[in-house]
C-alpha cells in the first residue's frame, strides 16, 4: 500500500501526523500550493460548502432521485419519439458553420494531435522527441510530471512553420483530478488587460488558475529568450484540463508580455475544456481562443450553474410526476411509477417535447449569466454535433445505447459529428447537461479525433 502512495504525498505524511499529535503546532504553508495536504483539504471543504449552499433544493433526496430517473427516461424517449426537437435546440443555439467556412480552420486537426501528444501516452514505446520530429517540430522543453496545481507539458518549435507550440496535458492521473476538483471561483487582478478594452479583474477556476500561473513562471525565461526574439507565432493547446490551463496561460502571457497581444501572434485551441472563466473574460478572449466541443461531452458542461439549472428542471419534473399520479408517495403511486418504466422508451412521455424544451428554457432563465460563481468555457466555441433525427441513428427497441444503421457498437460509442455550431459559452446547449449515453465517451480523445477528422480534416467537405 505504501508503494502506491505518490511521492509528493509521502513527504507530507510525517508532518501531518506530527501536527495532529501536537495541538497548537503550526507550520508555514504556501496557500497557493495545492499539493499541500492542509491547503488541498481546505480548498475542497470550501468548495463543498459553497456548492451545498448554491444547490439547496426544496426537493427531498427521494424526490431528486425519482425526478432524475424520470429525466433520464425522458431523454431516451426524446431520442426515439421526437429527435427533431433536440436538433432544433442545437440549430437555434448558434450559427451553423458551412463547408466553405471550415477552410479557415484547417489547422485544427493538426493542433488536436499535438494536444493528444501532450499526454505522452505514445504507442510502441515511442519517444516524445521522435513523435514531434516526425511532424517537423523540435522539442525544446518537456515536463512529464504533474502535481495538484501544476500541469505536465511540452514546448516545441517548428522552424519550417515558424510556430512555437505549448502542449498541456489533460487529466490522466490522481494529481490531475485533484487540480480539477479545486474548483472554487477566485478573483485575480491581471498586470494589464489581455486584450484592448478587456477586463483586468477576472474570476476563474482556482485549480486551473494555479496550474496556469505556475506554468507561466516556468516558461517566463523561455518567453523572453526564445518566444519573443524569434517572432514566431505561438500556439497553446491541450485537451480537457490541459485545455483549461492552456486558455488561462494564454491570458496570463498576453497580460504579462505586450508583444504577444499583436493580432495573430498567440492563439489557443482548447479541446474539451471545463468551464473556467467568468462571463466577461470568456467572451473577451474570443479573438485568440477557439474552444472545440464534441456532441454531448459532459466536461464543458460541468459547472455549478449547470447543476443549478438541472435542479430547477427537476422541480418541474417532480411537479409533473405529482400531477400525473406517478410520484412514489404511496403504494399505488409507487407501483404506477415503476410500471411506467417497464414501458421502455416507446412508452408515454409524462412531458411533451415542447414542455421539455420550454422547461429547460425556463430553468436556464432562472440562473443569471452574471452570477459571480458561474464560469464558462473560453472564447469562440465550435460545437460539433450529430443529428438525432438522422435516418438509422437513435435507439433500438432493446438497447439503451445509440446505434447507427450498421449496428457496430464501436461506431455507437465513437460516432463522428456531422455539423458545426459557432457559438460561445453562454449557448443554451452548453448551459444544460445533455443526458446522453455518450456524455462520457464523447469527451475521450478518439471521439474528438473522429469528429474533427470528419469535419475539419483535409478530405472533409
Same structural domain for residues 380 and 311?
A: no
Residue 250 in domain = yes
Residues 160-172: tens digit of each pLDDT: 999 999 999 999 9
Residue 196 in domain = yes
Same structural domain for residues 346 and 423?
A: no
Residue 33 in domain = no
**Contacts for 17-26 with beta carbons within 8 Å, 24 or more apart?**
none
Nearest to 440 by CA among 344, 302, 303: 302
157 has a pLDDT exceeding 60: yes
Same structural domain for residues 231 and 101?
A: yes
Same structural domain for residues 267 and 137?
A: yes
- Percent of the chain scored above 90 by pLDDT? 60
Same structural domain for residues 172 and 205?
A: yes
414 has a pLDDT exceeding 90: no
302 has a pLDDT exceeding 50: yes
Number of domains present in the structure of the chain: 2
Cell match 412521455: residue? 349
Query: pTM of the entire structure?
Result: 0.87
Distance CA 118, CA 120 (A): 5
Distance CA 378, CA 284 (A): 9
| Structure confidence at residue 397 (pLDDT) | 33
| Structure confidence at residue 21 (pLDDT) | 47
Same structural domain for residues 60 and 155?
A: no
Residue 9 in domain = no
Q: What is the CATH number of the domain that holds 392?
A: 3.40.50.1820
Same structural domain for residues 156 and 59?
A: no
Comparing 22-36, 219-233, 287-301, 440-454, which segment has the lowest mean pLDDT? 22-36
Residues 141-154: tens digit of each pLDDT: 999 988 889 999 99
428 has a pLDDT exceeding 90: yes
Contact at 8 Å (CB) between 456 and 94? Answer: no
User: What sign has the CA pseudo-torsion 416, 176, 201, 373?
Assistant: positive
Residues 262-294: tens digit of each pLDDT: 999 999 999 999 999 999 999 999 999 999 999
Same structural domain for residues 292 and 318?
A: no
Q: How far are the Cα atoms of 188, 204, 206, 292, 437 from residue 275, in angstroms, in the given order?
A: 16, 9, 11, 12, 21
The range of the structural domain enclosing residue 360 comes to: 55-87+305-365
Amino acid at each position: 500500500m505504501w508503494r502506491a502512495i505518490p511521492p509528493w504525498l509521502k513527504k507530507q505524511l510525517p508532518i501531518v501526523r506530527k501536527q495532529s499529535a501536537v495541538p497548537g503546532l503550526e507550520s508555514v504553508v504556501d496557500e497557493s500550493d495545492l499539493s499541500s495536504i492542509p491547503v488541498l483539504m481546505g480548498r475542497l471543504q470550501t468548495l463543498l460548502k459553497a456548492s451545498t449552499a448554491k444547490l439547496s433544493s426544496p426537493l427531498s433526496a427521494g424526490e431528486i432521485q425519482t425526478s432524475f430517473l424520470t429525466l433520464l427516461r425522458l431523454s431516451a424517449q426524446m431520442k426515439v419519439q421526437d429527435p427533431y426537437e433536440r436538433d432544433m435546440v442545437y440549430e437555434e443555439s448558434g450559427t451553423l458553420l458551412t463547408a466553405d467556412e471550415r477552410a479557415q480552420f484547417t489547422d485544427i486537426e493538426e493542433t488536436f494531435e499535438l494536444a493528444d501528444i501532450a499526454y505522452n501516452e505514445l504507442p510502441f514505446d515511442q519517444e516524445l522527441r521522435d513523435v514531434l520530429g516526425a511532424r517537423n517540430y523540435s522539442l525544446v522543453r518537456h515536463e512529464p510530471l504533474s502535481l495538484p496545481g501544476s500541469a505536465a507539458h511540452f514546448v516545441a518549435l517548428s522552424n519550417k512553420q515558424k510556430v512555437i507550440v505549448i502542449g498541456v496535458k489533460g487529466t490522466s492521473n490522481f494529481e490531475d483530478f485533484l487540480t480539477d476538483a479545486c474548483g472554487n471561483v477566485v478573483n485575480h487582478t491581471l498586470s494589464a488587460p489581455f486584450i484592448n478594452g478587456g477586463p483586468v479583474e477576472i474570476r476563474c477556476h482556482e485549480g486551473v488558475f494555479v496550474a496556469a500561473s505556475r506554468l507561466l513562471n516556468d516558461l517566463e525565461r523561455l518567453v523572453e529568450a526564445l518566444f519573443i526574439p524569434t517572432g514566431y507565432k505561438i500556439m497553446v493547446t491541450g485537451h480537457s484540463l490541459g485545455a483549461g490551463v492552456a486558455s488561462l496561460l494564454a491570458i496570463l502571457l498576453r497580460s504579462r508580455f505586450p508583444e504577444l497581444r499583436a493580432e495573430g501572434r498567440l492563439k489557443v485551441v482548447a479541446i474539451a475544456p471545463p468551464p473556467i472563466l467568468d462571463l466577461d473574460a470568456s467572451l473577451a478572449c474570443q479573438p485568440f481562443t477557439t474552444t472545440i466541443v464534441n456532441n454531448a461531452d459532459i466536461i464543458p458542461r460541468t459547472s455549478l450553474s449547470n447543476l443549478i439549472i438541472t435542479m430547477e428542471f427537476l422541480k418541474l419534473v417532480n411537479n409533473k410526476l405529482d400531477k400525473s399520479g406517478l410520484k412514489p408517495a404511496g403504494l399505488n403511486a409507487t407501483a404506477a411509477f415503476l410500471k411506467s418504466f417497464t414501458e421502455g422508451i416507446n412508452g408515454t412521455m409524462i412531458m411533451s417535447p415542447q414542455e421539455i424544451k420550454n422547461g429547460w428554457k425556463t430553468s436556464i432563465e432562472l440562473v443569471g449569466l452574471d452570477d459571480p460563481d458561474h464560469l464558462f468555457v473560453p472564447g469562440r466555441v465550435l460545437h460539433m454535433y450529430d443529428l438525432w433525427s438522422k435516418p438509422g441513428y437513435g435507439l433500438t427497441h432493446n438497447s439503451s445505447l445509440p446505434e447507427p444503421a450498421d449496428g457496430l457498437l464501436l461506431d455507437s460509442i465513437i460516432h463522428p459529428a456531422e455539423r458545426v455550431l459557432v457559438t460561445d459559452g453562454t449557448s443554451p446547449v452548453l448551459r444544460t447537461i445533455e443526458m446522453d449515453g455518450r456524455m462520457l465517451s464523447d469527451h475521450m480523445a478518439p471521439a474528438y479525433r473522429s469528429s474533427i477528422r470528419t469535419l475539419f480534416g483535409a478530405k472533409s467537405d
